[in-house]
């Protein structure tokens, strides 16, 4: 009971504090697809359709679109269960590490080098990109909500960036893990939006 009250209070406080950030200037906003790769995003799924919708909305609004793919993790000294799950998925086929068609990779997008860290901020290129573009707002999406997306979200907040997550554009290793992320973890750090249509409403004057 106490935990529920604390979570509710924290979520209310976070959402109240984030009210001032409900505007997304095109030149300061980026949509970042974290590990939206064939290994993790299957065609025809709700996630795939949502990622496509987000990619198209981003381009309509003039947002920068960034793809942050994961590499195989054979060089990790102390592999965890998370590392092994990712490694297994990326090794299924030769095209498994490729960007998923749902993310609609375009020549105008930024394609980051494949990384071996759970967080996208393990790449120095990410901090350099944010600084050079003057980015303040990141809209994060991806299939590994309880693994790499969670790590990236926390690191983004540590850098004083405003982070938005669209619930339809996130998946996780299990239904229970996804519920935990969307209900408790992510709202503590990010502005959580339910559905692409609700995100689009935030852009309207």
Reported as a single tens digit per residue, the pLDDT across 56-74 is: 999 999 999 999 999 976 6
Instruction: Mark 83-121 as b/e (b = at least 16 C-beta within 10 Å).
Output: beebbebbeeeeeebebbebbbbeeebeebeebebbbbb
pTM here?
0.87
Asked, for residue 10, whether it belongs to a domain, the answer is no
Per the domain annotation, does 8 fall within a domain? no
* Confidence band, pLDDT 50/70/90 cuts, at residue 200: confident
Question: pLDDT value at position 205?
Answer: 61
Confidence of residue 79 (pLDDT cuts 50, 70, 90): confident
Please indicate, yes or no, if residue 43 is contained in any of the structural domains: yes
Residue 4 resides in a domain:
no
Average pLDDT over residues 135-157: 97
How many domains is the chain built from? Answer: 1
Answer whether residue 184 is part of any domain: yes
Residue 68: domain span = 25-202
Give the CATH number, domain containing residue 49: 3.40.50.850
């Amino acid at each position: 009971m106490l935990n529920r009250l604390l979570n509710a209070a924290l979520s209310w406080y976070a959402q109240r504090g984030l009210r001032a950030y409900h505007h997304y200037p095109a030149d300061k906003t980026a949509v970042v697809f974290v590990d939206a790769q064939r290994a993790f995003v299957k065609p025809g799924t709700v996630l795939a359709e949502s990622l496509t919708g987000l990619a198209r909305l981003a381009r309509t609004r003039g947002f920068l679109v960034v793809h942050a793919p994961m590499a195989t993790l054979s060089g990790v000294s102390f592999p965890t269960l998370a590392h092994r799950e990712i490694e297994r998925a990326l090794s299924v086929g030769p095209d498994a590490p490729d960007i998923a068609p749902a993310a609609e990779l375009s020549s105008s997008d930024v394609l980051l080098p494949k990384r071996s860290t759970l967080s996208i901020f393990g790449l120095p290129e990410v901090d350099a990109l944010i600084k050079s573009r003057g980015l303040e707002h990141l809209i994060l999406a991806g299939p590994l909500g309880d693994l790499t997306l969670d790590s990236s979200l926390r690191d983004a907040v540590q850098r004083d960036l405003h982070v938005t997550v669209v619930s339809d554009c996130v998946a996780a290793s299990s239904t229970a893990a996804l519920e935990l992320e969307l209900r408790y973890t992510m709202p503590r750090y990010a502005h959580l939006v339910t559905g692409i249509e609700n995100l689009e409403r935030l852009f309207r004057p």
